Copies of this chain bind each other. A is one copy, B any other.
Amino acid sequence: MPDRPHVVIVGAGFAGIECAKSLKGSGARVTLIDRQNHHLFQPLLYQVATAALAAPSIAAPVREVFAKRDDVRVLMDEVCAIDPEAMSVSLASGRKLDADYIVVAAGLRAIYFGHDGWRRHAPPLKTVGDAIEIRKRFVSAFEAAELLERDADRTRELTFVVIGAGPTGVEMAGAFAELSHKTLRAEYRHFDTSEARVILIEGQDRVLPTFHPDSSARAKRDLEQLGVEIILNTRVEELDEQCVALSDGNRIETRTIVWAAGVAGERIGASLNAERTKAEKIVVGADLTAPGKPNIFVAGDLAHFIDPKSQEPVPGVAPAAIQMGRYAGRTIKREIRAPGNPREPFWYRDKGALATIGRNRAVAELAGRRFGGYPAFLLWAVVHIYFLIGYRNRIMTMLQWFWQYVHFDRSARIIPTPERGCESGSASDSA
């Protein structure tokens, strides 16, 4: 049926997946495009980076999600340009798609504030590949330390720097500290793994700057109890594979750095020719479209939407992305069925904010209440399990997770492709 309206969704994150799900029964043809072949349950990605979970446990092949939806076509491709006048989308494979509706849910990318060369030494935590790379560096540092004789060499190898103390940075630093100071202690013979330093660097004056100051104070205390060194009001001036130089003049010798500091809207947003914030998010109105482009919705982290209730921008959290994607899908569905009616505005339901710091520690902000410790951790666990429901692998992941919780198990800390050793010509033949 060539006359069925065509909806093109850019990105298979929370917003894109929910949008496609909401279009069920709409009569539209849906094309869902992502450069990855899997939807990623991003809030648990740090658990892959810290060897608590295997990557497939938090990633579902996008095709599998829509296997029973004949109206949904999934393309593993990259969107290189959107033409808002012609309503077309150009793909890296060379194809061009005409669309009646475009939903741009491309999300955010890590940015390095003009120092793109830092990425190699300080990877971000955005993709499964990133998480596996960070896990490899972290685990390899301990393996290298076991082989080193000189204390100074070992100290550099065992210093882990996390840049940026938002939720991702806090979760990473907490997990690194727990692993170093507890889980791994029994396994090395040549040194005490609690020698390892975990340093969290933040440019603002507190950790979790988007949370209430009370939550920040609590998170700071919890992190310090876990052994994390926190450096506030300090920026990174320079970094390379040996060292991080700070704005306070200090230099930290380290070989393992994680970048959790800067994000900006994906570049594809530029091709919409719409107003963008400094962080390259697209400014959208009450119906999640940019002015003058009624058939192009922007959903998820890429959208800059001012909540009319709070007059604050809706935060970049999974529940917001899910609500936006669902809104875009339902609005399109309604218009296809009954064209010409005015659109209802998007309405954001604040589900609160949560960050976990380690085993049995978290901070929660929920309906005006703030709390921490074990109750917050329990809430965090329940919420994440609840959200996983609706995706594949949920039962297995819950079990795996429960298992590692009970057993302090970090069995996922395997290094798939170690660097080669002996100098002779064995490399080509014995990898």
- A116 on interface, CB distance cutoff 8 Å: yes
Q: Which residue of B lies closest to A120 (CB)?
A: B428
Further contacts, 9 of them, CB under 8 A, given A67-B187, A91-B421, A111-B429: A37-B414, A60-B411, A63-B187, A70-B189, A79-B422, A80-B424, A92-B421, A116-B429, A128-B416
Question: DSSP majority for the A interface?
Answer: loop
Bound together, the chains give a CA A431 to CA B36 distance in angstroms of 10
A431 and B127 within 8 A (CB): yes
Q: How far is the CA of A92 from the CA of B143 in the complex (A)?
A: 13
By the criterion CB–CB under 8 Å, are A413 and B109 in contact?
no
List chain B residues, Cβ under 8 A from A187. 61, 63-64, 66-67, 74
Size class of A's contact patch?
35 or more
B-contact 0/1 string along A261-305, CB 8 Å cutoff? 000001100000000000000000000000000000000000000
Indicate if the CB atoms of A132 and B400 lie closer than 8 Å.
no
The 10 residue pairs across chains A and B that have the minimum distance between CB atoms: A92-B421, A78-B421, A54-B54, A129-B417, A80-B422, A63-B187, A56-B412, A76-B143, A129-B416, A54-B56
Number of copies of this chain in the oligomer? 2
Contacts of A423 in B (CB 8 A): 80, 92
Q: Could you say which residues of chain B place their CB within 8 Å of the CB of A76?
A: 143, 146-147, 415, 418
Instruction: Digitize A48-65: 1 where CB-to-B-CB distance is under 8 Å, 0 elsewhere.
Output: 000000111101110110
Separation of A111 and B73 alpha carbons in the complex (Å): 42
- Determine the chain B residues whose CB is within 8 A of the CB of A413 once the complex forms: 37, 61
Contact A414 B75 (CB under 8 A): no
Question: If A93-B147, A109-B429 touch, does A392 touch B411 (CB 8 Å cutoff)?
Answer: yes
Residue A1 interfacial (CB < 8 Å): no
When distances are taken between beta carbons in the complex, the residues of chain B under 8 Å from A393 are 411
